[in-house]
Structure 1
Amino acid sequence: MSTTPTLDRERVRQLFNLRGSYHAEVGGGYEDDPYPAWHRLREQAPVHPGVVHELTGYPGPAVFMGLPFPDRPHFSVFGYAACADAYRDPETFASSPRPVDLNDGTLSASNSMISMGGARHRRHRALVQPSFVPAKARWWITNWIEEAVHDLIDGFAAEGRAELNVDFCAAIPILTITGSFGVPVDRALALRAALREPEEFVRILRPIVAARRESPQDDLISVLVEAELTDEEGATQRLSDAEIHSFAMLLLTAGSGTTWKQMGITLSALLQRPDVLEAVRADRGLLGPAIEESLRWTPTDPMFSRFVTRDVDFHGVRLPAGSVLHLCVGAANRDPARWERPDEYDITRRVRPSFAFGGGAHVCLGMHVARAEMRVGIGALLDRLPNLRLDPHAEPPRFIGMYERGATEIPVVFG
Structure 2
Amino acid sequence: MTETAPLLDVDRVRELFDLRGAYMAHNGGGFSPDPYPLWAALREQAPVHEGTLHALTEGAEDWTFQGLPERDRPHFTAFTYAACNDVYKDSELFASSANAVDPTASAGVESSMLSMGGAQHRRYRALVQPRFTPKAAEWWIRKSIQETVDALVAHIRPLKRAELNVDFCAAIPVLTITGVFGIPVEQALDVRAAMANPMDVITIVAPLVAARREEPGDDLISVLVQAEVADEDGVVHRLTDPEIYSFCILLLAAGSGTTWKQMGITLTALLQRPEVLAAVREDRSLLRPAIEEALRWQPTDPMFSRFVTRDVDFHGVHVPKGAVMHIALGAANRDPARWERPDEFDIHRPVKPILSFGGGPHICLGMHVARAEMVTGIGALLDNLPNLRLDPDAEPPRYVGFYERGATAIPVLFG
- Return the TM-score normalized by structure 1: 0.97
Task: Give 1:261's aligned residue.
Answer: 261
Tell me the alpha carbon deviations over residues 383-409 of structure 1, each in whole angstroms, 9 at most, x when there is no partner.
011100000001111001111000000
Matched with 2:402 is 402
One-letter amino acid of the counterpart of residue 57, structure 1:
E
Matched, 1:14 2:9: no
Tell me the amino acid that sits aligned with residue 144 of structure 1.
S
Partner in structure 1 of residue 92 of structure 2: 91
Q: Residues 299-338 of structure 1: matches in 2 within 5 Å?
A: 299-338=299-338
Q: Cα deviation per residue 1:322-377 (whole Å; 9 max; x = unaligned)?
A: 11111100000000111110000000011111000011111100000000000000
Residue 24 of structure 1: CA displacement? 3.2
Q: Secondary structure at the match of 1:32?
A: coil
Q: Which residue of 1 aligns with 2:214?
A: 214
Q: Which amino acid aligns with 1:89?
A: D
The alignment status of 1:63 with 2:67, answered yes or no, reads no
- The change in CA–CA distance for 1:171 and 1:223 in structure 2 (over 3 A counts) is same
One-letter amino acid of the structure 2 residue matched with residue 102 of structure 1: P
**Deviation digits for residues 170-216 of structure 1 (CA, Å, limit 9, x no counterpart):** 11001100001101111111122122232322121111111111111
Q: Within the alignment, does 1:363 sit opposite 2:360 as a pair? A: no
Structure 2: distance between partners of 1:187 and 1:173: 14
Distance 2:9 2:150 in 1: 16
> 1:185 is aligned with what amino acid?
V
Code of the residue aligned with 1:245 in structure 2: it is Y
The offset of 1:235, in angstroms, is: 1.7
1:414 aligned residue: 414
Aligned-pair distance for 1:250?
Answer: 0.5
Shift of residue 53 of structure 1?
A: 1.1
Q: For the Cα contact (< 8 Å) 2:6–2:155, is it kept in 1?
A: no
For residue 2 of structure 1, report the CA deviation from its aligned partner.
Answer: 4.9
**Pairwise mapping of residues 144-155 of structure 1 onto structure 2 (< 5 A)?**
144-155=144-155
1:196 is the counterpart of 2:196:
yes
Unpaired segments of 5 or more residues in structure 1? none
Identity of aligned residues (%): 66
Task: Give the corresponding residue for 1:103.
Answer: 104
Q: Secondary structure at the match of 1:48?
A: strand
SS at match of 1:307: strand
Residue 119 of structure 1 is matched in structure 2 by 119
The TM-score, its normalising length taken from structure 2, stands at 0.97
Give the C-alpha shift of residue 231 in structure 1: 1.6
AA in 1 matched with 2:113: M
TM-aligned CA deviation for residue 25 of structure 1: 2.6
**Count of aligned positions:** 414
Q: Secondary structure at the match of 1:23?
A: helix
Distance 1:59 1:192, change over 3 A: closer
Q: State the alpha-carbon separation in 2 of the partners of residues 364 and 70 from structure 1.
A: 27
**Cα-Cα RMSD:** 1.4
The CA distance in 2 between the partners of 1:91 and 1:192, in whole Å, is 33
Name 1:175's counterpart in structure 2: 175
**Per-residue displacement from partner, 1:47-80 (whole Å, max 9, x unpaired)?**
0111111211134134221112121111110000
Deviation at 1:103, TM superposition (A): 2.5
Q: 1: distance between equivalents of 2:86 and 2:113? A: 22
**Is the contact made by 1:109 and 1:253 (CA closer than 8 Å) also made in structure 2?**
no
Residue of structure 2 in register with 1:377 after alignment: 377
Q: Is the 8 A contact 1:86 1:93 kept in 2?
A: yes
Indicate if the aligned counterparts of 2:19 and 2:401 stay in contact, CA closer than 8 A.
no
SS at match of 1:306: strand
